Chain A
Amino acid sequence: ETGVTQSPTHLIKTRGQQVTLRCSSQSGHNTVSWYQQALGQGPQFIFQYYREEENGRGNFPPRFSGLQFPNYSSELNVNALELDDSALYLCASTNRPGGWETQYFGPGTRLLVL
């Protein structure tokens, strides 16, 4: 059984640029959630994708967007990067979108915005 994987592991961008982060869900999982973890903070829910559609969203602006593909993998896109977007971005997968089944987290992508 393959766990949740994320790429890249680290990324450096400049303010105003755009970034795409990728996540492959655990085998058999059809739902992917994204979280942002700023330094010294707990993760904050960005959004969840199920059946290639956004299924729920936290308090993040529209410049945070996502995609889910037929193989359940997912992308997080952030436009017009700001310095405060510097964080660890975590992807989590589960096998059911509407409940509180255990979410399995990937190792994260650390984004630095200069």
Chain B
Amino acid sequence: AQSVTQPDIHITVSEGASLELRCNYSYGATPYLFWYVQSPGQGLQLLLKYFSGDTLVQGIKGFEAEFKRSQSSFNLRKPSVHWSDAAEYFCAVGFSGGGADGLTFGKGTHLIIQP
């Protein structure tokens, strides 16, 4: 069955430290991959996406993600976090069939930034 897993429910990182949020998917082919961020009281904002090509993609706010086909993963990274990065992060996957099937989201990772 097609699925998306974010193994970490909560992650705490010190301000200025590096960050990696994990995302794994289960699917027989290469899906379309997205990372979204949700701040309290806000909708979802797209950080970056991967459709094909270079497996390292750059996004907004200094985030990047790497697609690893062999590991069925699409982990999100940032070299130095800021207090404003505290939010909920969702990995989302588009499986075959196109956009009419909707995105499948993971359960999210809550990022806490320590001063």
Distance (whole angstroms) from the CB of B91 to the closest CB of chain A: 8
Q: How far, in whole Å, are A105 and B82 apart by their CA atoms in the complex?
A: 24
Contact with B along A20-34 (1 / 0, CB 8 A): 000000000001010
Of A65-73, A78-86, A90-98, the stretch lying at the interface with chain B is A90-98
Which of A40, A42, A106, A107 is most buried by chain B, counting CB atoms within 10 A of its CB?
A: A42
Q: How far, in whole Å, are A31 and B41 apart by their CA atoms in the complex?
A: 24
Q: How far, in whole Å, are A106 and B43 apart by their CA atoms in the complex?
A: 5
Give B32's nearest chain A residue, CB to CB: A100
* Contact with B44, one of A45, A101, A105 (Cβ below 8 angstroms): A105
The total of interchain contacts (Cβ-Cβ below 8 angstroms) comes to 76
Verify if A74 is at the interface (C-beta below 8 Å from B): no
Query: In A31-48, which residues have CB < 8 Å from any B CB?
Result: 31, 33, 35, 40-48
Verify if B29 is at the interface (C-beta below 8 Å from A): no
Given contacts A90-B43, A105-B44, A108-B43, contact A96 B99 (CB under 8 A): yes
- B43 A102 Cβ-Cβ under 8 A: no
Verify if B103 is at the interface (C-beta below 8 Å from A): yes
Q: How far, in whole Å, are A67 and B66 apart by their CA atoms in the complex?
A: 38
Of B14-22, B67-75, B104-112, the stretch lying at the interface with chain A is B104-112
Which of B51, B99, B103, B104 is most buried by chain A, counting CB atoms within 10 A of its CB?
A: B99
- A41 B32 Cβ-Cβ under 8 A: no
Q: How far, in whole Å, are A46 and B100 apart by their CA atoms in the complex?
A: 11
Distance (whole angstroms) from the CB of A92 to the closest CB of chain B: 8
State the A residues within 8 Å of B (CB). Answer: 4, 31, 33, 35, 40-48, 50, 55-56, 58, 90, 92, 94, 96-108
Sample (17) of A-B pairs whose CB atoms are under 8 Å apart = A33-B102, A40-B108, A41-B107, A43-B103, A44-B105, A46-B102, A56-B101, A94-B99, A97-B98, A98-B98, A98-B100, A100-B49, A100-B94, A103-B46, A103-B99, A105-B45, A107-B43
A41-B107, A56-B99, A58-B102 given. 4 additional CB < 8 A pairs? A4-B43, A31-B99, A48-B99, A100-B94
